[in-house]
Amino acid sequence: MRRLALALLGASACLAVLGSPAQAQDDDSDGDDSGPGAADVAPVDVQQVSGLMDEILVTEIRDAVRRADEDGSQALILQINSRGAVVGRDTMKELLEDVADAPVPVAIWVGPSGARLYGTPAQLLAVADVTGMAPGARVGEIGTPLSPGGATVDFGEAESRLREGSMGLTEARELGVFKQRISDEGVPTLRSMVNALDGYEENGVTVETTEESVSDDGTPQRNTTATVRLSKLGLLQQLFHTVASPAVTYLLFLVGLSLLVFEFFTAGVGIAGVVGAVCTFLACTGLAVLPVRPFAVAMLVAAMVAFAVDVQVGIPRFWTGVGLVLVALGSWLLYEPLPGATLRPSWITLLAGIGGMALAYIVGMPSMVRTRFATPTIGREWMLDELGTVVRTVDPEGIVLVGEGQWRARTNRATPVSAGEQVRVVGIDGVTLEVEPLEGAAREHRR
């Protein structure tokens, strides 16, 4: 059972890794590239922003603006892939003000390809100094524009489309969503976004990120001269940001509660209980951030209580079915929708959650709990003096069917009991039932 608990711990760690914020994808730059003259050019900072906009990401963006100013950066690029915000409108309004009033130019790149910028975070495009988007990315679902002090959220003729819908690169470019003129191919890579900053002027200072040169064959080309410094969330910040994603929070909550139920019916506190407590704690931090329906959380907790009723007798019965219905409904209704974002877990996640609960409480949990019982009196007193049917000849050990479950059994007499005959349970020794035949129990068997 320790191996099971360790396996669940490993699975939880994998979920955290799989759900971690996306890394910058750039075929042309690894974050440390610099061309000729880089030593004479101030660097450009890049802050990666991925996932729902929560307090952790808002704080990180503000810190990135401060660091860029203190470290002498020419500009700050926010590489964003976000489907919405889970912070209040007042917090987002303050963030828009901070970006609009930043002491260094702030650029926003919606990338890499396939990235999304939905909800109120998409309004950052209106207050940033330079904006761009990778092919295959989309922006929109901005909702009602905020009115940050000293800044204006105005997308011109594109605003009506952006409020309730989204658009791709071509349409966004035609409607003038971007602050800097970009090519028909958009801004495919991070280096392209760095180059798009070249020539931007603010407060009499011009950003210089590239220089023109001529190749050996006489072809003009542009070389990136600014050093790119990549930044992302720290380990602890990334952990709490990751567990606050809908799928990870949902799965951690189910796994944590299930491990606690399992540990409740075993002797002592083991690794499963500790892992369950950690998973439940992390899941609760996510539930505190995400827009959840309290009654759906209550349904998931009630499902575990229903499962526990049948777990204690080691046989899946009526209450197991009730628990599965509650899990299915609670999973489907757990999250409230956000503008531009569907927080409901994907079908694969729902299948893993609901299917995992069905497998655990119909097949796995009853069997595991039976094997972990160390005394004959915990939860199985009802079996004493019960009648059963022999499934495999008890001579002196075999298998019997008692209630709705099959159990290891041995006869406490010298008389073997053949398959199909009835027996009576007269004692319990660990996970083995002591039985005797209903007829002929006293006769001596001779071979």
Q: Residue 394: its pLDDT value, please?
A: 87
Per-residue pLDDT, averaged over 380-403, amounts to 83
Please give the angle made by the CA atoms of 193, 198 and 199, to the nearest 5 degrees: 140
Q: Residue 156: its pLDDT value, please?
A: 82
Tens of pLDDT, residue by residue over 58-75, are 999 999 999 999 999 999
- Give the right CATH number for 26-214+222-232 from 3.40.190.10, 3.40.640.10, 3.30.365.10, 3.90.226.10: 3.90.226.10
Distance in angstroms (rounded) separating the CA atoms of residues 287 and 406: 40
Tens of pLDDT, residue by residue over 102-145, are 999 999 999 899 999 998 899 999 899 999 999 999 998 888 88
Tens of pLDDT, residue by residue over 307-323, are 888 777 667 778 889 99
**Tally of CB atoms within 10 A around 119:** 23
- The pTM score is 0.69
> What CATH topology corresponds to 381-437?
OB fold (Dihydrolipoamide Acetyltransferase, E2P) (2.40.50)
Q: Give the residue extent of every domain in the chain.
A: 26-214+222-232, 236-372, 381-437
Q: Residue 308: its pLDDT value, please?
A: 85
Tens of pLDDT, residue by residue over 216-265, are 776 777 788 888 999 888 889 989 988 889 999 999 999 999 888 887 76
Q: Minimal CA–CA distance to 96: which of 167, 39, 152, 40?
A: 152
Pairing of strands 397-402, 405-411: antiparallel
